[in-house]
Structure 1
Amino acid sequence: MTLEDDEVVHVEGAVAPCDVLFVCEHASNYFPESFGDLGLSDEVRESHVAWDPGALALTRLLAERFDSSLVAGGVSRLLYDCNRPPVAESAIPQRSEIFDIPGNVGLSDAAREARVEQIYLPFRGAVEQVIAMLEPKAIVTVHSFTPIYHGAKRDVEIGILHDRDTRLADGMLEALAGAPHDVQRNAPYGPEDGVTHSLKLYGLATQTANVMLEVRNDLLRTETQIAHMADVIEGALQAALAGLAKDTKTEEGR
Protein backbone atom coordinates (compact mmCIF):
# COMPACT_ATOMS: atom_id res chain seq x y z
CA MET A 1 0.00 0.00 0.00
CA THR A 2 1.71 3.21 -1.17
CA LEU A 3 0.67 6.80 -1.66
CA GLU A 4 2.34 9.54 -3.67
CA ASP A 5 3.25 12.67 -1.72
CA ASP A 6 1.17 14.81 -4.08
CA GLU A 7 -1.86 12.71 -3.15
CA VAL A 8 -1.67 13.39 0.57
CA VAL A 9 -0.62 17.06 0.53
CA HIS A 10 -1.20 19.97 -1.83
CA VAL A 11 0.72 23.24 -2.02
CA GLU A 12 -1.01 26.13 -3.79
CA GLY A 13 -0.04 29.70 -4.53
CA ALA A 14 3.14 31.52 -5.40
CA VAL A 15 6.11 30.19 -3.49
CA ALA A 16 7.74 33.51 -2.62
CA PRO A 17 8.36 35.47 0.58
CA CYS A 18 5.01 36.44 2.11
CA ASP A 19 3.38 37.75 5.26
CA VAL A 20 1.17 34.72 5.96
CA LEU A 21 1.28 31.00 5.29
CA PHE A 22 -2.11 29.32 5.48
CA VAL A 23 -2.43 25.67 6.49
CA CYS A 24 -5.58 23.55 6.14
CA GLU A 25 -4.97 20.14 7.67
CA HIS A 26 -8.52 18.81 7.28
CA ALA A 27 -9.19 20.05 3.76
CA SER A 28 -10.30 16.76 2.19
CA ASN A 29 -12.55 13.76 2.78
CA TYR A 30 -10.77 11.73 0.11
CA PHE A 31 -10.22 8.03 0.83
CA PRO A 32 -7.59 6.48 -1.50
CA GLU A 33 -8.63 3.10 -2.89
CA SER A 34 -5.72 1.44 -1.13
CA PHE A 35 -7.36 2.20 2.23
CA GLY A 36 -10.91 1.31 1.28
CA ASP A 37 -13.74 3.04 3.13
CA LEU A 38 -12.71 2.06 6.69
CA GLY A 39 -16.08 0.32 6.96
CA LEU A 40 -17.94 3.65 6.84
CA SER A 41 -21.07 4.64 4.96
CA ASP A 42 -21.03 7.38 2.32
CA GLU A 43 -22.91 9.58 4.77
CA VAL A 44 -20.21 9.33 7.41
CA ARG A 45 -17.37 9.79 4.91
CA GLU A 46 -19.02 12.99 3.70
CA SER A 47 -19.76 14.31 7.20
CA HIS A 48 -17.72 16.65 9.41
CA VAL A 49 -16.01 13.74 11.15
CA ALA A 50 -14.12 12.98 7.93
CA TRP A 51 -13.01 16.55 7.14
CA ASP A 52 -13.72 20.25 7.74
CA PRO A 53 -16.44 21.27 5.25
CA GLY A 54 -15.86 24.71 3.77
CA ALA A 55 -12.41 25.11 5.30
CA LEU A 56 -10.43 24.70 2.08
CA ALA A 57 -12.61 27.15 0.14
CA LEU A 58 -12.14 29.72 2.91
CA THR A 59 -8.40 29.06 3.08
CA ARG A 60 -8.02 29.48 -0.68
CA LEU A 61 -9.84 32.80 -0.63
CA LEU A 62 -7.74 34.09 2.25
CA ALA A 63 -4.50 32.98 0.59
CA GLU A 64 -5.57 34.75 -2.59
CA ARG A 65 -6.35 37.96 -0.73
CA PHE A 66 -3.02 37.91 1.09
CA ASP A 67 -1.18 36.95 -2.12
CA SER A 68 0.19 33.99 -0.23
CA SER A 69 0.49 30.21 -0.31
CA LEU A 70 -1.39 27.42 1.39
CA VAL A 71 -0.64 23.84 2.33
CA ALA A 72 -3.65 21.52 2.43
CA GLY A 73 -4.16 17.92 3.45
CA GLY A 74 -5.21 15.64 0.61
CA VAL A 75 -6.87 12.74 2.44
CA SER A 76 -9.46 12.32 5.18
CA ARG A 77 -8.41 13.01 8.74
CA LEU A 78 -9.93 9.63 9.65
CA LEU A 79 -6.94 8.01 7.94
CA TYR A 80 -4.55 10.30 9.81
CA ASP A 81 -5.22 13.65 11.50
CA CYS A 82 -2.31 15.87 10.50
CA ASN A 83 -3.05 18.17 13.43
CA ARG A 84 -2.05 15.42 15.84
CA PRO A 85 1.38 13.94 16.65
CA PRO A 86 1.98 10.24 15.98
CA VAL A 87 1.93 9.48 19.72
CA ALA A 88 -1.67 10.71 20.04
CA GLU A 89 -4.36 8.03 19.92
CA SER A 90 -6.62 10.58 18.21
CA ALA A 91 -4.23 10.78 15.27
CA ILE A 92 -5.93 7.64 13.95
CA PRO A 93 -9.27 7.70 15.77
CA GLN A 94 -11.21 4.54 16.52
CA ARG A 95 -14.25 6.70 17.26
CA SER A 96 -15.09 10.23 16.14
CA GLU A 97 -17.93 11.96 17.96
CA ILE A 98 -20.83 9.44 17.71
CA PHE A 99 -19.31 7.30 14.95
CA ASP A 100 -17.17 4.19 15.32
CA ILE A 101 -14.39 3.88 12.72
CA PRO A 102 -14.12 0.10 12.11
CA GLY A 103 -11.09 0.34 9.81
CA ASN A 104 -9.05 1.98 12.56
CA VAL A 105 -9.80 -0.60 15.25
CA GLY A 106 -7.11 -3.10 16.14
CA LEU A 107 -4.39 -1.62 13.97
CA SER A 108 -0.95 -3.06 14.58
CA ASP A 109 1.97 -0.81 15.45
CA ALA A 110 3.30 -1.42 11.95
CA ALA A 111 0.01 -0.35 10.38
CA ARG A 112 -0.08 2.83 12.44
CA GLU A 113 3.52 3.61 11.57
CA ALA A 114 2.69 3.12 7.89
CA ARG A 115 -0.02 5.78 8.15
CA VAL A 116 2.49 8.11 9.81
CA GLU A 117 5.02 7.58 7.04
CA GLN A 118 2.52 7.76 4.19
CA ILE A 119 0.38 10.70 5.34
CA TYR A 120 1.74 12.67 8.31
CA LEU A 121 5.41 12.88 7.43
CA PRO A 122 4.87 14.06 3.82
CA PHE A 123 2.40 16.68 5.05
CA ARG A 124 4.72 17.85 7.80
CA GLY A 125 7.66 17.89 5.41
CA ALA A 126 5.74 20.02 2.90
CA VAL A 127 4.75 22.58 5.53
CA GLU A 128 8.28 22.82 6.90
CA GLN A 129 9.73 23.15 3.39
CA VAL A 130 7.32 25.95 2.46
CA ILE A 131 8.06 27.77 5.73
CA ALA A 132 11.78 27.60 4.97
CA MET A 133 11.20 28.96 1.46
CA LEU A 134 8.63 31.67 2.26
CA GLU A 135 9.86 32.81 5.68
CA PRO A 136 6.33 33.99 6.60
CA LYS A 137 5.71 36.48 9.35
CA ALA A 138 2.69 34.48 10.50
CA ILE A 139 1.21 31.01 10.21
CA VAL A 140 -2.57 30.63 10.19
CA THR A 141 -4.31 27.25 10.31
CA VAL A 142 -7.93 27.15 9.15
CA HIS A 143 -10.64 24.76 10.33
CA SER A 144 -14.40 24.43 10.51
CA PHE A 145 -16.56 22.77 13.15
CA THR A 146 -20.04 21.32 13.37
CA PRO A 147 -22.87 23.41 14.88
CA ILE A 148 -24.21 20.34 16.73
CA TYR A 149 -21.76 18.19 18.71
CA HIS A 150 -22.92 15.16 20.70
CA GLY A 151 -26.42 16.57 20.39
CA ALA A 152 -25.53 19.95 21.91
CA LYS A 153 -25.88 23.21 19.98
CA ARG A 154 -22.83 25.42 19.74
CA ASP A 155 -23.42 29.17 19.81
CA VAL A 156 -19.85 30.21 18.99
CA GLU A 157 -19.44 31.12 15.32
CA ILE A 158 -15.76 31.98 15.06
CA GLY A 159 -13.10 30.56 17.33
CA ILE A 160 -9.71 32.23 17.66
CA LEU A 161 -7.36 29.59 19.09
CA HIS A 162 -3.82 29.83 20.36
CA ASP A 163 -1.23 28.05 22.44
CA ARG A 164 1.52 29.94 24.31
CA ASP A 165 1.92 32.57 21.60
CA THR A 166 -1.15 34.82 21.91
CA ARG A 167 0.00 37.73 19.76
CA LEU A 168 -2.12 37.15 16.66
CA ALA A 169 -5.07 35.83 18.65
CA ASP A 170 -5.08 38.89 20.89
CA GLY A 171 -4.95 41.22 17.90
CA MET A 172 -7.72 39.42 16.05
CA LEU A 173 -9.97 39.26 19.09
CA GLU A 174 -9.54 42.98 19.64
CA ALA A 175 -10.36 43.70 16.01
CA LEU A 176 -13.42 41.43 16.10
CA ALA A 177 -14.84 42.89 19.31
CA GLY A 178 -17.60 44.67 17.39
CA ALA A 179 -18.21 42.02 14.76
CA PRO A 180 -21.78 40.75 14.20
CA HIS A 181 -20.67 37.25 15.14
CA ASP A 182 -20.18 35.23 18.30
CA VAL A 183 -16.38 35.23 18.50
CA GLN A 184 -14.64 33.42 21.33
CA ARG A 185 -11.10 32.64 22.47
CA ASN A 186 -10.05 28.97 22.41
CA ALA A 187 -13.53 27.76 21.50
CA PRO A 188 -15.08 25.38 20.70
CA TYR A 189 -11.71 23.74 21.44
CA GLY A 190 -8.54 24.80 23.19
CA PRO A 191 -4.98 23.63 23.89
CA GLU A 192 -6.27 21.23 26.53
CA ASP A 193 -8.07 19.33 23.74
CA GLY A 194 -4.84 18.64 21.87
CA VAL A 195 -5.74 20.80 18.87
CA THR A 196 -2.68 23.07 18.82
CA HIS A 197 -0.16 20.54 17.51
CA SER A 198 0.39 22.44 14.26
CA LEU A 199 0.72 25.76 16.06
CA LYS A 200 3.41 24.32 18.32
CA LEU A 201 5.20 22.42 15.56
CA TYR A 202 5.30 25.10 12.87
CA GLY A 203 4.80 28.31 14.85
CA LEU A 204 6.29 28.02 18.31
CA ALA A 205 9.21 25.92 17.08
CA THR A 206 10.22 28.61 14.56
CA GLN A 207 9.20 31.57 16.75
CA THR A 208 6.70 32.59 14.07
CA ALA A 209 3.46 34.29 15.14
CA ASN A 210 0.58 31.86 14.77
CA VAL A 211 -3.13 31.39 15.24
CA MET A 212 -5.75 28.72 14.58
CA LEU A 213 -9.14 29.68 13.17
CA GLU A 214 -12.32 27.67 13.70
CA VAL A 215 -15.47 28.69 11.77
CA ARG A 216 -18.83 26.99 12.29
CA ASN A 217 -19.48 25.08 9.10
CA ASP A 218 -23.11 26.15 8.68
CA LEU A 219 -21.63 29.59 7.94
CA LEU A 220 -19.52 28.17 5.09
CA ARG A 221 -22.14 26.44 2.95
CA THR A 222 -22.37 28.93 0.08
CA GLU A 223 -19.92 31.06 -1.86
CA THR A 224 -21.59 34.17 -0.45
CA GLN A 225 -21.15 32.94 3.13
CA ILE A 226 -17.53 32.00 2.51
CA ALA A 227 -16.77 35.40 0.95
CA HIS A 228 -18.38 37.15 3.92
CA MET A 229 -16.38 35.12 6.42
CA ALA A 230 -13.22 35.84 4.42
CA ASP A 231 -14.03 39.57 4.69
CA VAL A 232 -14.43 39.31 8.46
CA ILE A 233 -11.26 37.30 8.98
CA GLU A 234 -9.16 39.27 6.50
CA GLY A 235 -9.86 42.55 8.26
CA ALA A 236 -9.11 41.13 11.69
CA LEU A 237 -5.94 39.40 10.53
CA GLN A 238 -4.69 42.53 8.76
CA ALA A 239 -5.21 44.50 11.97
CA ALA A 240 -3.40 41.86 14.02
CA LEU A 241 -0.48 41.78 11.57
CA ALA A 242 -0.22 45.57 11.68
CA GLY A 243 -0.09 45.44 15.47
CA LEU A 244 2.55 42.74 15.30
CA ALA A 245 4.69 44.83 12.96
CA LYS A 246 4.34 47.86 15.23
CA ASP A 247 5.39 45.85 18.28
CA THR A 248 8.37 44.47 16.37
CA LYS A 249 9.55 47.95 15.39
CA THR A 250 9.15 49.12 18.98
CA GLU A 251 11.26 46.24 20.25
CA GLU A 252 13.94 46.87 17.62
CA GLY A 253 14.07 50.54 18.59
CA ARG A 254 14.85 49.85 22.22
Structure 2
Amino acid sequence: MAGARQSGLEVVVTRNREAPGPFLVVCEHASNHFPAVFGTLGLAPEARSAHIAWDPGALGVARRLARLLDAPLVAAGVSRLVYDLNRPPHSPGAMAARSEDFDIPGNARLSAAERRRRTEAVYLPFHAELRAEIARRLARGRPPVIVTVHSFTPVWFGQPRTVEFGVIHDADPSLALAVLAEAKVQTRLDCRLNEPYSAADEVTHTLRLQATPYGLANVMLEIRNDLIATPEAEEAMAAMLAPVLKAALAAITPPMTEEAVA
Protein backbone atom coordinates (compact mmCIF):
# COMPACT_ATOMS: atom_id res chain seq x y z
CA MET A 1 0.00 0.00 0.00
CA ALA A 2 1.27 3.46 -0.88
CA GLY A 3 -0.12 6.89 -0.10
CA ALA A 4 0.46 10.31 -1.59
CA ARG A 5 0.82 13.19 0.83
CA GLN A 6 0.49 16.90 0.24
CA SER A 7 1.12 19.31 3.11
CA GLY A 8 0.87 16.40 5.55
CA LEU A 9 -2.42 15.14 4.08
CA GLU A 10 -2.88 11.60 2.84
CA VAL A 11 -5.18 12.50 -0.02
CA VAL A 12 -4.77 9.29 -2.02
CA VAL A 13 -4.01 5.69 -1.12
CA THR A 14 -2.81 3.20 -3.72
CA ARG A 15 -3.03 -0.54 -3.09
CA ASN A 16 -1.81 -3.53 -5.12
CA ARG A 17 0.39 -1.33 -7.27
CA GLU A 18 2.17 -4.27 -8.90
CA ALA A 19 -0.99 -6.31 -9.52
CA PRO A 20 -0.81 -7.73 -13.05
CA GLY A 21 -4.52 -7.81 -13.96
CA PRO A 22 -5.97 -5.71 -16.79
CA PHE A 23 -8.20 -3.52 -14.58
CA LEU A 24 -7.38 -0.42 -12.55
CA VAL A 25 -10.00 0.30 -9.85
CA VAL A 26 -10.66 3.85 -8.68
CA CYS A 27 -12.74 5.09 -5.72
CA GLU A 28 -12.94 8.89 -5.65
CA HIS A 29 -15.47 9.07 -2.80
CA ALA A 30 -13.87 6.43 -0.57
CA SER A 31 -13.42 8.51 2.60
CA ASN A 32 -15.36 10.77 4.95
CA HIS A 33 -12.17 12.02 6.62
CA PHE A 34 -12.06 15.76 7.34
CA PRO A 35 -8.40 16.77 7.85
CA ALA A 36 -7.77 19.21 10.67
CA VAL A 37 -6.38 21.81 8.27
CA PHE A 38 -9.84 22.12 6.72
CA GLY A 39 -11.88 21.61 9.88
CA THR A 40 -15.36 20.12 9.94
CA LEU A 41 -16.76 22.64 7.41
CA GLY A 42 -19.32 23.51 10.08
CA LEU A 43 -21.01 20.11 9.89
CA ALA A 44 -22.27 17.99 12.78
CA PRO A 45 -20.94 14.42 13.15
CA GLU A 46 -24.08 12.89 11.64
CA ALA A 47 -23.68 14.99 8.50
CA ARG A 48 -20.00 14.10 8.23
CA SER A 49 -20.90 10.40 8.25
CA ALA A 50 -23.81 10.75 5.81
CA HIS A 51 -23.74 10.06 2.06
CA ILE A 52 -23.09 13.72 1.33
CA ALA A 53 -19.57 13.29 2.72
CA TRP A 54 -18.63 10.06 0.91
CA ASP A 55 -20.00 6.95 -0.83
CA PRO A 56 -20.75 4.44 1.96
CA GLY A 57 -19.75 0.92 1.03
CA ALA A 58 -17.90 1.93 -2.12
CA LEU A 59 -14.41 1.49 -0.71
CA GLY A 60 -15.19 -1.96 0.67
CA VAL A 61 -16.50 -3.07 -2.71
CA ALA A 62 -13.56 -1.46 -4.52
CA ARG A 63 -11.00 -3.17 -2.26
CA ARG A 64 -12.56 -6.57 -2.77
CA LEU A 65 -12.91 -6.03 -6.51
CA ALA A 66 -9.25 -5.09 -6.72
CA ARG A 67 -8.31 -8.35 -4.99
CA LEU A 68 -10.61 -10.49 -7.13
CA LEU A 69 -9.48 -8.81 -10.35
CA ASP A 70 -5.81 -8.75 -9.34
CA ALA A 71 -5.88 -5.00 -9.94
CA PRO A 72 -4.43 -1.89 -8.35
CA LEU A 73 -6.75 0.41 -6.44
CA VAL A 74 -6.45 4.19 -6.25
CA ALA A 75 -8.70 5.63 -3.54
CA ALA A 76 -9.36 9.03 -2.00
CA GLY A 77 -8.23 9.81 1.54
CA VAL A 78 -10.43 12.83 2.29
CA SER A 79 -14.14 13.66 2.15
CA ARG A 80 -15.65 14.77 -1.12
CA LEU A 81 -17.01 17.82 0.71
CA VAL A 82 -13.45 19.07 1.12
CA TYR A 83 -12.97 18.41 -2.60
CA ASP A 84 -15.03 16.16 -4.86
CA LEU A 85 -12.36 14.40 -6.90
CA ASN A 86 -14.85 13.52 -9.62
CA ARG A 87 -15.34 17.21 -10.45
CA PRO A 88 -12.99 19.65 -12.21
CA PRO A 89 -11.69 22.70 -10.30
CA HIS A 90 -14.02 25.16 -12.02
CA SER A 91 -17.16 23.15 -11.18
CA PRO A 92 -19.37 24.48 -8.34
CA GLY A 93 -19.74 20.84 -7.27
CA ALA A 94 -16.02 20.47 -6.61
CA MET A 95 -16.52 22.25 -3.27
CA ALA A 96 -20.28 22.28 -2.98
CA ALA A 97 -21.99 24.81 -0.72
CA ARG A 98 -25.07 22.59 -0.57
CA SER A 99 -25.49 18.84 -0.96
CA GLU A 100 -28.93 17.25 -0.99
CA ASP A 101 -30.71 18.69 2.09
CA PHE A 102 -27.55 19.91 3.78
CA ASP A 103 -25.93 23.32 3.69
CA ILE A 104 -22.14 23.13 3.91
CA PRO A 105 -21.18 26.28 5.89
CA GLY A 106 -17.46 25.79 5.37
CA ASN A 107 -17.95 25.80 1.60
CA ALA A 108 -20.13 28.92 1.44
CA ARG A 109 -18.62 31.90 -0.35
CA LEU A 110 -15.19 30.32 -0.75
CA SER A 111 -12.50 32.73 -1.86
CA ALA A 112 -10.47 32.06 -4.98
CA ALA A 113 -7.45 31.55 -2.74
CA GLU A 114 -9.20 28.84 -0.73
CA ARG A 115 -10.43 27.07 -3.86
CA ARG A 116 -6.88 27.09 -5.16
CA ARG A 117 -5.54 25.80 -1.82
CA ARG A 118 -7.87 22.82 -1.85
CA THR A 119 -7.25 22.14 -5.53
CA GLU A 120 -3.50 22.05 -4.94
CA ALA A 121 -3.77 20.06 -1.70
CA VAL A 122 -6.31 17.43 -2.77
CA TYR A 123 -7.26 17.36 -6.46
CA LEU A 124 -3.84 17.72 -8.07
CA PRO A 125 -2.02 15.01 -6.08
CA PHE A 126 -4.90 12.53 -6.40
CA HIS A 127 -5.13 12.82 -10.16
CA ALA A 128 -1.35 12.93 -10.53
CA GLU A 129 -1.12 9.62 -8.66
CA LEU A 130 -3.84 8.06 -10.79
CA ARG A 131 -2.24 9.34 -13.99
CA ALA A 132 1.10 7.92 -12.87
CA GLU A 133 -0.42 4.48 -12.37
CA ILE A 134 -1.94 4.65 -15.83
CA ALA A 135 1.33 5.84 -17.37
CA ARG A 136 3.32 3.02 -15.75
CA ARG A 137 1.02 0.44 -17.31
CA LEU A 138 1.00 2.15 -20.67
CA ALA A 139 4.80 2.16 -20.64
CA ARG A 140 4.77 -1.61 -20.07
CA GLY A 141 2.44 -2.08 -23.03
CA ARG A 142 -0.54 -2.97 -20.81
CA PRO A 143 -3.22 -0.26 -21.17
CA PRO A 144 -5.42 -0.48 -18.06
CA VAL A 145 -9.19 -0.79 -18.06
CA ILE A 146 -10.50 1.95 -15.75
CA VAL A 147 -13.35 1.06 -13.37
CA THR A 148 -14.60 3.70 -10.94
CA VAL A 149 -16.75 2.52 -8.01
CA HIS A 150 -19.48 4.64 -6.39
CA SER A 151 -22.62 4.23 -4.31
CA PHE A 152 -25.91 6.14 -4.22
CA THR A 153 -28.78 6.58 -1.79
CA PRO A 154 -31.99 4.51 -2.05
CA VAL A 155 -34.07 7.67 -1.54
CA TRP A 156 -33.43 10.98 -3.31
CA PHE A 157 -35.36 14.05 -2.11
CA GLY A 158 -38.08 11.77 -0.78
CA GLN A 159 -38.35 9.67 -3.94
CA PRO A 160 -37.42 5.97 -3.71
CA ARG A 161 -34.96 4.69 -6.29
CA THR A 162 -35.69 1.21 -7.60
CA VAL A 163 -32.52 0.95 -9.65
CA GLU A 164 -29.92 -1.11 -7.79
CA PHE A 165 -26.93 -1.07 -10.11
CA GLY A 166 -26.15 1.79 -12.47
CA VAL A 167 -23.63 1.50 -15.30
CA ILE A 168 -22.36 4.88 -16.50
CA HIS A 169 -20.23 5.76 -19.50
CA ASP A 170 -18.47 8.82 -20.84
CA ALA A 171 -17.69 9.18 -24.56
CA ASP A 172 -17.16 5.48 -25.26
CA PRO A 173 -20.11 3.27 -24.21
CA SER A 174 -18.52 -0.04 -25.25
CA LEU A 175 -17.52 -1.41 -21.85
CA ALA A 176 -20.57 0.01 -20.10
CA LEU A 177 -22.91 -1.72 -22.54
CA ALA A 178 -21.03 -4.99 -22.11
CA VAL A 179 -21.14 -4.68 -18.30
CA LEU A 180 -24.87 -3.97 -18.42
CA ALA A 181 -25.50 -6.99 -20.64
CA GLU A 182 -23.46 -9.31 -18.43
CA ALA A 183 -25.00 -7.96 -15.21
CA LYS A 184 -28.48 -8.66 -16.55
CA VAL A 185 -27.48 -12.25 -17.32
CA GLN A 186 -25.34 -13.02 -14.28
CA THR A 187 -27.15 -11.16 -11.48
CA ARG A 188 -30.66 -10.43 -10.23
CA LEU A 189 -29.93 -6.76 -9.75
CA ASP A 190 -32.13 -4.07 -11.29
CA CYS A 191 -29.46 -2.86 -13.72
CA ARG A 192 -29.76 0.28 -15.85
CA LEU A 193 -27.59 2.30 -18.18
CA ASN A 194 -26.78 5.88 -17.12
CA GLU A 195 -28.96 5.76 -14.00
CA PRO A 196 -29.26 7.25 -11.45
CA TYR A 197 -26.71 9.59 -13.06
CA SER A 198 -25.15 10.12 -16.45
CA ALA A 199 -22.36 12.12 -18.06
CA ALA A 200 -24.84 14.97 -18.42
CA ASP A 201 -24.78 15.28 -14.60
CA GLU A 202 -21.00 15.90 -14.63
CA VAL A 203 -20.25 12.57 -12.94
CA THR A 204 -17.71 11.23 -15.44
CA HIS A 205 -14.90 13.71 -14.86
CA THR A 206 -12.37 11.06 -13.83
CA LEU A 207 -13.15 8.96 -16.89
CA ARG A 208 -13.01 12.00 -19.15
CA LEU A 209 -9.72 13.20 -17.66
CA GLN A 210 -7.89 9.91 -17.21
CA ALA A 211 -9.31 7.31 -19.60
CA THR A 212 -10.81 8.99 -22.66
CA PRO A 213 -7.64 10.87 -23.75
CA TYR A 214 -5.70 7.59 -23.85
CA GLY A 215 -8.49 5.64 -25.54
CA LEU A 216 -8.76 3.34 -22.52
CA ALA A 217 -11.80 1.15 -21.96
CA ASN A 218 -13.67 2.52 -18.96
CA VAL A 219 -16.86 2.35 -16.93
CA MET A 220 -18.37 3.92 -13.82
CA LEU A 221 -20.27 1.63 -11.44
CA GLU A 222 -23.03 2.99 -9.17
CA ILE A 223 -24.35 0.65 -6.45
CA ARG A 224 -27.33 1.46 -4.24
CA ASN A 225 -25.84 1.79 -0.81
CA ASP A 226 -28.45 -0.19 1.12
CA LEU A 227 -27.16 -3.23 -0.79
CA ILE A 228 -23.63 -2.77 0.57
CA ALA A 229 -24.37 -1.60 4.10
CA THR A 230 -22.22 -4.21 5.86
CA PRO A 231 -18.74 -5.65 5.23
CA GLU A 232 -20.38 -8.97 4.32
CA ALA A 233 -22.64 -7.24 1.79
CA GLU A 234 -19.66 -5.40 0.30
CA GLU A 235 -17.83 -8.72 -0.14
CA ALA A 236 -20.88 -10.36 -1.71
CA MET A 237 -21.42 -7.49 -4.14
CA ALA A 238 -17.79 -7.53 -5.26
CA ALA A 239 -17.92 -11.29 -5.70
CA MET A 240 -21.00 -10.83 -7.88
CA LEU A 241 -19.54 -8.02 -10.00
CA ALA A 242 -16.01 -9.35 -10.57
CA PRO A 243 -17.10 -12.06 -13.04
CA VAL A 244 -19.40 -9.53 -14.70
CA LEU A 245 -16.45 -7.21 -15.35
CA LYS A 246 -14.25 -10.05 -16.58
CA ALA A 247 -16.88 -11.29 -19.00
CA ALA A 248 -17.64 -7.77 -20.20
CA LEU A 249 -13.99 -7.11 -20.95
CA ALA A 250 -13.72 -10.42 -22.81
CA ALA A 251 -16.79 -9.47 -24.86
CA ILE A 252 -15.21 -6.25 -26.16
CA THR A 253 -11.67 -7.60 -26.58
CA PRO A 254 -10.86 -8.74 -30.13
CA PRO A 255 -9.59 -12.33 -30.27
CA MET A 256 -5.88 -12.70 -30.92
CA THR A 257 -4.94 -13.68 -34.45
CA GLU A 258 -2.54 -16.52 -35.23
CA GLU A 259 0.04 -13.93 -36.26
CA ALA A 260 -0.26 -12.14 -32.91
CA VAL A 261 0.12 -15.39 -31.00
CA ALA A 262 3.19 -16.31 -33.05
Q: Post-superposition shift, 1:176?
A: 1.5
Q: Which residue of 199, 203, 213 corresponds with 1:205?
A: 213
Q: 2:51 corresponds to which residue?
A: 48
Contact 2:152 2:222 in 1 (8 A): yes
Q: Which aligned pairs between 1:213-228 and structure 2 lie closer than 5 A? A: 213-228=221-236
Contact 2:169 2:198 in 1 (8 A): yes
**Partner Cα distance (1:28, 1:169) in 2:** 25
Q: Which residue of 175, 178, 193 corresponds with 2:182?
A: 175
Secondary structure at the counterpart of residue 15 of structure 1: coil
**Partner Cα distance (2:256, 2:157) in 1:** 43
Q: Which aligned pairs between 1:64-213 and structure 2 lie closer than 5 A? A: 64-135=67-138, 136-178=143-185, 179-213=187-221
User: Which amino acid counterpart does residue 26 of structure 2 have in structure 1?
Assistant: V
User: Which amino acid counterpart does residue 14 of structure 1 have in structure 2?
Assistant: R
User: Which amino acid counterpart does residue 89 of structure 1 have in structure 2?
Assistant: P
Q: Post-superposition shift, 1:244?
A: 2.2
Contact 2:134 2:144 in 1 (8 A): no
Unaligned segments of structure 2, at least 5 residues = none
Secondary structure at the counterpart of residue 167 of structure 2: strand
Q: How many residues align?
A: 251
Unaligned segments of structure 1, at least 5 residues = none
Secondary structure at the counterpart of residue 177 of structure 1: helix
Secondary structure at the counterpart of residue 142 of structure 1: strand
Q: Which moved more, 1:98-107 or 1:238-247?
A: 238-247
Q: 2:11 corresponds to which residue?
A: 8
Q: Which moved more, 1:155-164 or 1:173-182?
A: 173-182
User: Which amino acid counterpart does residue 221 of structure 1 have in structure 2?
Assistant: A
Q: Which moved more, 1:15-24 or 1:40-49?
A: 15-24
Contact 2:9 2:35 in 1 (8 A): no
User: Which amino acid counterpart does residue 45 of structure 1 have in structure 2?
Assistant: R
Secondary structure at the counterpart of residue 160 of structure 1: strand
Report the TM-score, using the length of structure 2 for normalisation. Answer: 0.91
Q: Which moved more, 1:128-137 or 1:41-50?
A: 128-137
Contact 1:160 1:211 in 2 (8 A): yes
Identical amino acids, percent of aligned pairs: 48
**Partner Cα distance (1:23, 1:87) in 2:** 22
Secondary structure at the counterpart of residue 246 of structure 1: coil
Contact 1:17 1:133 in 2 (8 A): no
Residues 248/99 of structure 1: CA separation in 2 closer, same or farther (3 Å cut): farther
Residues 3/32 of structure 1: CA separation in 2 closer, same or farther (3 Å cut): farther
Residues 205/148 of structure 1: CA separation in 2 closer, same or farther (3 Å cut): same
Contact 1:8 1:75 in 2 (8 A): yes
Residues 243/216 of structure 1: CA separation in 2 closer, same or farther (3 Å cut): same
Secondary structure at the counterpart of residue 189 of structure 1: coil
Contact 1:9 1:122 in 2 (8 A): yes
Secondary structure at the counterpart of residue 233 of structure 2: helix
Secondary structure at the counterpart of residue 124 of structure 1: helix
Q: What do residues 132-166 of structure 1 show as CA deviations (whole Å, max 9, x unaligned)?
A: 11234310000001111111111110000001111
CA RMSD in angstroms comes to 1.9
Contact 1:5 1:122 in 2 (8 A): no
Q: Post-superposition shift, 1:14?
A: 3.2
**Partner Cα distance (1:183, 1:156) in 2:** 6
